[in-house]
Structure 1
Amino acid sequence: MNPIVIIGSGMAGYTLAREFRKLDTTTPVVMISADDAVNYAKPTLSNALVGNKHPDQIGLGDSAKMSAQLNINILPHTIVSHVDCENHTLQLKHQNGEQTTQAYSKLILAVGANPIRLPIEGDGAEDIHVVNSLADYRTFRDTLSLRTDKRVLLLGAGLIGCEFANDLKATGHDVTVVDIAPQPLGRLLPADTAQAFQAGLEHIGVQFALNTTVQRINRAGQDYEVSLTNGNTLIVDIVLSAIGLRPNLELAQAANIQTSRGIEVDAWLETSQPDIYAIGDCAEVAGHLLPFVMPIMQQARALAKTLSGTSTAVHYPAMPVAVKTPAAPLTVLPTPADVQVEWQTEQFEDGMLAKAVDNEGTLRGFVLLGATAGKQRMTLTKLVPDLLPAASA
């Protein structure tokens, strides 16, 4: 019997393996990982500094521990070089240079997403840090520890960028956030709420340089001279890019699997090739690309049932996202990309509530800023229609 094969050892891959083992304890499962396959929760990386978490404390288990715990075969430091859809086989390249073939009965692509990199000039551009893995976090943390001035430039005022800004400022760093947009979280917040959110971070000392971007980064001794397109120049110790992620599509495209913004899958998470599925940050589910924790959990539970013999469509209820910015407590339920909404804002003493209402008067999303507004999360969530109804199964 050929095994179920999972490519990827991130949150999506490990969550699927765990959910599947709850339903099926005997079917062979192989997990293939390009890195060391340490199990950890990537969302914890953007606020790990304030908790003084050493990288070794973030990992929940190495490949040997996870293999024993889940009763699966894990192949770390192994690259999938080719997917043969017709013969249900994979070509693998191992760390020692050996090349082998792996058969599969069902294949799951949990290959994640990689950071988007801006085309920046200068001899310091190659020194820009990203934190998209535990190894990235280790490198970033080690570099920070060597600098005494603690001046950090953050590229990107999106969700992850703002979380890092809060975390870095709370640990004594001088933080400047640069973004081409006129406001932080430009894709998630209406203008008035974004302004209040920005003020909350500015209150603790985070600085914003908006409506501009980085043109050039040059090394200046131990420092970096950063030239912005608005003509300003900054001297910093380290640059961290958090401008977003792009799903890893190369393996799927080489296998003639349909892709768009992500790897296209239906509500059952199956790709255009039979017996091949995709979950996690790489998966575009029935037109929705949602790189957040709750959608991954929903995907893993549904696919685990399907793989164990009960065909199950993924259910997307309303899934608010809690942004880890204690200086400006924020919860966001993003509105569907294809729905036109009007924002209705209510002011509180310590924050705001913004409701996204469609032309039929239905609540399609919301933003809660501040502790008082945050208390309405559960009540509002129940009013928002499911993004993918359970009835689609």
Structure 2
Amino acid sequence: MQPIVIIGSGMAGYAAAREFRKLNPEQELLMICADDAANYAKPTLSNAYALKKAPEQIALGDAEKMTAQLNMKILNHTWVKGIQADAHELQLEHADGASSVQSYSKLVLAVGANAIRLAIAGNGSDDIRTVNSLNEYKIFRANLDQCQDKRVVILGAGLIGCEFANDLQNTGHQVTVVDLAPQPLGRLLPSHVASAFQQNLTESGIQFVLNTTVEKVLKNDDGTYSVSLANGQALTADAVLSAIGLQPNLSIAQDAGIQTSRGILTGADLSTNQSDIFALGDCAEVNGLLLPFVMPIMQQARALAKTLNGEATAVHYPAMPVAVKTPAAPLTVLPAPADVNVTWETEEFDDGMLSKAIDTEGTLRGFVLLGPTAAKQRLALTKLVPDLIPAAN
């Protein structure tokens, strides 16, 4: 029997392997990845500085350790150049330039998402950093360690941008966040909560420049950067970080005739339209839902492990709140489904607020908890929200 092959060594790939090994210690498993296959949790990157975690302390295990731990062969620094779905074969290219063919019995796409990069003018634009992997984080940290005045401009006031802003502000950096949106966390928060959230971060020292975007980044002779904004404002920075979002990696799936939309399209069982090919993680759009967060990945991995082991299992999505790592403004968000009309009911506290998203039938469909007092209601409120994908009967 050919091995089960997992493409990708991120959180999703390792979670799928780990959950499958709990059920089946013997079936041959093969992981293929373009990087070094270090096992780490990507969400830890956005608050590692304040926690005094050096980049080399973040990885939980290298390829050798994970091979032994999961009884799994790992081909790192190896690229999948094509998928022959009918033949159940992969075309591989190795670090030494050699090519080979790998057969599979079942294939798991855990290929993640790439950082979106804006087309920005100027001779400093190539120095704009993204942090979507541990290797990129190592480069960014090395840049930060060389910053004399510790001035950092962050492009993007979304979840990752705000988390990095808070982390860097807590470590003595002067942070300015630029975003085209009128508020931070525009896709997650209603405007009245976003305003309070922004105020809390501003009081911690973070500066926001909203309703505009970066047009040009010039590198100065002293190694600093001049950042020109569309509103005419100019900023000086020692480092520039782009955190404007992620785009699922779809090319390998599309070339193999696998259906995609925003992500790789799967049913509730995580299967694609091609036989014996599955997808999970940041690349997977499951039943129309693209949820690049930790809890959905864990739910996917548990369900997929059972399916790969012969027990067809649909993923169950309960209500899954997202904790935003911004200590200056402690925040938990459970977004309401995008296709549901809701009204917001808000209760204010001395240290924050609780906002509930109520649909037309009076059902709680989401909530936002800002501050320590509101956070205490997380568990009770989560139980009241209907499942996103109900458990199978």
Q: Establish whether TM, by shorter chain, passes 0.5.
A: yes
What is the deviation of 1:265?
0.2
Q: Which residue does 1:379 correspond to in 2?
A: 380
Q: Following the alignment from structure 1 to structure 2, what is the Cα–Cα distance between the partners of residues 69 and 236? A: 43
Instruction: Show the counterpart of 1:52.
Output: 52
Q: Does 1:13 align with 2:27?
A: no
Write out aligned runs for 1:151-166 (5 A): 151-166=151-166
CA distance in 2, matches of 1:218, 1:17: 45
Q: Give the Å deviation of 1:342.
A: 1.1
Question: CA offsets, 1:1-21, max 9 Å, x none?
Answer: 100000000000001100000
Written as runs of structure 1 = structure 2, the 5 A alignment for 1:242-261 is 242-261=243-262
Aligned counterparts, 1:28-43, within 5 A: 28-43=28-43
1:1-393 matches, within 5 Å, as 1-221=1-221, 222-391=223-392
Aligned residues: 392
Structure 1 residue 343 displacement after superposition = 1.2
- Shift of residue 309 of structure 1? 1.1
> Aligned equivalents of 1:181 and 1:136: distance in 2?
26
The CA deviation string for residues 49-91 of structure 1, in whole angstroms up to 9 with x for no partner, is 0011111100011001100110000000000001000000000
How far is the alpha carbon of 1:34 from its aligned partner?
Answer: 0.5
The 1-side partners of 2:167 and 2:286 are apart by 32
In structure 1, C-alpha distance between the alignment counterparts of 2:210 and 2:43, rounded to whole Å: 25
Deviation at 1:292, TM superposition (A): 0.1
* CA distance in structure 2 between the partners assigned to 1:40 and 1:168 by the alignment: 21
After TM superposition, the runs of 4+ consecutive aligned structure 1 residues lying more than 2 A away are none
Give the distance between the partners of 2:363 and 2:116, measured in 1 at CA: 35
Between the aligned partners of 1:358 and 1:34, the Cα distance in structure 2 is 45
Deviations 1:179-234 (A, max 9, x none): 00000000111111101101111111000000011011111121111110111001
Identity %: 67
Matched AA of 1:174:
Q
TM-score using structure 1 length: 0.99
Q: Structure 2: which amino acid aligns with 1:161?
A: G
AA paired with 1:140?
A: F
Is the partner of 1:361 in helix, strand or coil? Answer: coil
Which letter does structure 2 place at the counterpart of 1:323? Answer: V
Following superposition, the deviation at residue 363 of structure 1 comes to 0.7
Q: Match for 1:305: what amino acid?
A: K
Provide the rounded CA distance (Å) in 1 between the counterparts of 2:45 and 2:335: 22
List per-residue Cα deviations over 1:329-384 (Å, max 9, x = no partner).
00000111111111111111100111111111111100000000000000100000
Q: Which runs of 5+ in 1 are unaligned?
A: none
Counterpart secondary structure, 2:108: strand
SS in 1 for 2:167: helix
Per-residue displacement from partner, 1:284-303 (whole Å, max 9, x unpaired)?
A: 00000000000000000000
TM-score normalised to structure 2 length: 0.99
Q: Root-mean-square deviation (CA), in Å?
A: 0.6
CA distance in 1, matches of 2:183, 2:197: 9
CA distance in 2, matches of 1:100, 1:344: 59
1:124 Cα deviation from its structure 2 partner:
0.7
Deviation at 1:125, TM superposition (A): 0.7
Q: Name which of structure 1's ranges 166-175 and 341-350 shifts more when overlaid on structure 2.
A: 341-350
3-state DSSP class of the match of 1:390? Answer: coil
How far apart are the structure 1 equivalents of 2:273 and 2:249?
A: 17
Secondary structure of 1:162's partner? Answer: helix
Residues of 1 paired with 2:387 and 2:59: CA distance?
A: 34
* Distance (Å, rounded) in 2 between the aligned partners of 1:122 and 1:338: 40
**Aligned partners of 2:337, 2:256: CA distance in 1, in Å?**
30
Distance (Å, rounded) in 2 between the aligned partners of 1:15 and 1:318: 20
Letter aligned with residue 237 of structure 2: V
Amino acid at match of 2:328: A
3-state SS, counterpart of residue 161 of structure 1: helix
